[in-house]
Every structure is written in structure tokens, then in C-alpha cells.
Amino acid sequence: MKLDSYWNDALPLWPAGATGGARSLPDKVDVAIVGGGFTGLSAALALARKGARVVVLEAGPTVAPEASGRNGGHVNNGLAVDYADVAAKVGVEKARAWYHAYDDAVNTVARLVQQESIDCDFLRHGKLKLATRPYQMDALQRSVERLVADGVDTDVEVLSAERVRAEVQSERFHGGLLYKRSAQMHMGRFAHGLAQAAERQGATICTNTCVNRLERVQGQVHRLHTAQGVVTAQQVLLATGASRHGSYGSFGWLRRRIVPIGSFIVVTEPLGAERAQALLRERRTYTTIANIHHYFRLTADHRLVFGGRARFAISSPQSDAASGEILRAGLAETFPQLGPVRLDYCWGGLVDMTQDRLPQAGERDGLFYSMGYSGHGTQMSVHMGERMAEVMAGNVAANPWQGRHWPAIPGHFGPPWFLPAVGLYFRLKDRLA
């Protein structure tokens, strides 16, 4: 079992798979982007198309080494929290706009895959949110009724237990909610395709280039002190999410507002086409309803990707291996017919969780930022890269998350020491529900 992401395995380190050769750090640019995940790569492509001189500074050895390349492979629409709860807090108009931003985000991914001819197994088969307890079906029905009544989404449908079992070979589920606009793709190949597209437009992507310190010159102009030298940028976009690179001195304000939570994933050996098709007939993305939930899907080579919040801990080789055994048990409980199936991959990643589980994007002290996707980032990060390129060009209204209050998380000043207690709290909530 490899303790590495399936999406990044067998992909070349950047830039070996593109035009070859190490990228030299430019002295001056129009825009410097900190972070080479989906937000940074998408922004680089959009800004380069506008004629800007752009450099992407990535601390890791390749593009998308963190959350963008270490997730479950889902490209889902719908909010990370219940729409009705959001509408009660901020009003129907704003909640509806935020919900539609996720529809737009999936469309953005689909458009880029087509425009740039990115070979990443993109499929739009929908997402099925699965009820593991009977009472959850009432909540799903109320959710659909509210989405339709507010004119938010008519491409949703509640499926009975019988209909779910007809496509999901498991006795665990009592029904589900189908979101028909959701999709899936191979994350590693999409990242490389996006990076290649950005460089074709003239952007420079520098890996192994950790930004250690930001120095504000005036206005939006900053000097970025990196492991490879100093670059001066007229504008800077922070697209780092929950990255553990860099200093708290330069990024402390943001990091006190994001909790990095580990999410862990295992991938089975190839099951074969017939066995995989019987397991998940419609080949959608699937997620269960719980605070500590599971999510799963099939790959193009007929493997099962099975993930979840196995442990409230930060990813490390030891943590990943321990979490893999917990996920092995969850996999056996969900699909006992697989028997002692071999697990070929196991890895963990960081989810950059905000207090309300909604994204944050804007400008502060001359720095632009977009992050806090809270486990729903694969589509929104790509979308927000494009949106922030518009914002940085002067169109502030292009940001669907503009003006959101972003308070610090009480007691959070560095590494999240409180995660084990949070895990116990959520497990108790799931048991008592």
C-alpha cells in the first residue's frame, strides 16, 4: 500500500512533463501567485490570457501537491452546509447566489477541460448524498422542497432506498438526494493540463520555491522572499489554503481564520469492469450524511476511491497509515462483498475549514486571497482563480464571496491543538442523532 496520492502517482514532477528544464525566478512581475494548486493555476491562466506577466510560486516539488492533488476526485455542486440554514442566516437572495456559485464552478471546470483539451476522465454523472439512518430522509425531502420553492435548484431528486440499492450495492443506505449537475475527474492529470495551459499563455510556474516572507513596498506592491531569491510583484494573490509552508509572521492573520483538518483516502486494487459496474452502477460521486462521513467513487481503471474524516489529525505517514486501517473497516462495513480487497494507495490531505464552512476571498492590506473551501474546493478553487483574476483587473463584483465577515477562530493561533476534542464532539453528535 503506497502512502501517496493515486492522482499524483506516475505523473512527472513539474516541469518534466511540460517543456522541460527548471524555471528561473523572475526579478519583477505583474502578479505573483503563492500556491500552485487549482486556485493558483486557474488564476495564472486567466491573468496570462490578459497579458499579465505572472509567476506561480509553489513550495512543493510539483503542481497541486496539497489539497488539489490529495482529495477524493469529486467536482460537486451544492453548498457544504444545508441551504436552508444558510438562507436563515443571510437571507434567500444571498444564499441562492452562493449556491449558484457552485453550479458556475462545476461549469468552469467543464469549460476548461474542453477548451484546453485536458485528458482527465471528466464525467458529469451527478452526486448522490446518502442517508445512513431513516430519519435523515425527512431532512433530505425538506431540503429538496426548499431548494425548489426558492427557485434555487430543480435538478435535485430524492431517491428511495430501493432506487439507491439498484445503483449502490450496499444495504447501509435508506435513500439519498441526487444532485444532477455534479461531476468527477482525475485530479492529477487536470492539474498538469491546467499548468501546461497557463505556461502556453506565458505564465511561469516555479516549484520548490517556498515563500518565506512577504514585504509590502507600497499599495499592492510586495517583495516576496523565497528559497530561490526575491521577486517584486505589482500584485500578489495568496492561494495557499491550509498549507503548512511559510511563516506565521506573513500569513498569521489568515491562518488564525482557517483550521486545517485531515481527510484521508484509500484506493483499492483494480476491481475489473464488471465488478466495479455492479458495485456503483451509475458511477456517480457518493457521500454519506454524518459529521464523520465517508465519500467514494470509481476510477477509470475500475478502482474504488474511499475516503473520510477517519481521524481528526494532521496528515503524516504515521497518521495516514493509521487512518487507512480505519477506512479499511469502513469500506468492509459498506461493501462487505468485496472481502479482503487489496488497498494499493492510502494518503491524507488538509481541508482548509472556515468557521461557517464557506469560502473566503477578497483583499486585505494590499494582498488578494481566495481560500477556505472547507472540503468543497476542487470546483470552487478553479472557479475562484478565474474570478480573482477579474477582481485583480478591477472588477470587484466578480467575487461571489466579497464582503463576508471573517472573524478569527477563538483559541486558534498555530497548529490546531484542539482537533482530537473536536473529533470526539462530532462522534458523539453522530451517535446521539
Mean pLDDT of 263-287: 97
In this prediction, residue 17 carries a pLDDT of 42
The DSSP symbol for 398 reads G
Find the DSSP H helices in 256-311: 273-279
CB 182 within 8 A of CB 285: yes
pLDDT value at 313 more than 80: no
Q: Percent helix, strand, coil in the chain (nearest 5)?
A: 35, 25, 40
pLDDT value at 418 more than 60: no
CB 182 within 8 A of CB 70: no
Report CA torsion sign: 304, 309, 315, 321: negative
Mean pLDDT of 362-383: 95
* Three cell numbers written together for 97: 447566489
Which pLDDT band holds residue 312 (cuts at 50, 70, 90)? low
pLDDT value at 314 more than 70: no
Range of lowest pLDDT (30-34, 137-141, 381-385, 409-413): 409-413
Instruction: Determine if the pTM surpasses 0.85.
Output: yes
Range of lowest pLDDT (85-99, 109-123, 164-178, 351-365): 351-365
What are the Cα distances from residue 330, in Å, to 9, 12, 253?
24, 32, 37
In this prediction, residue 18 carries a pLDDT of 44
* Three cell numbers written together for 193: 493540463
- Strands 360-364 and 204-206 turn out to be unpaired
How long a stretch of residues is the chain? 433
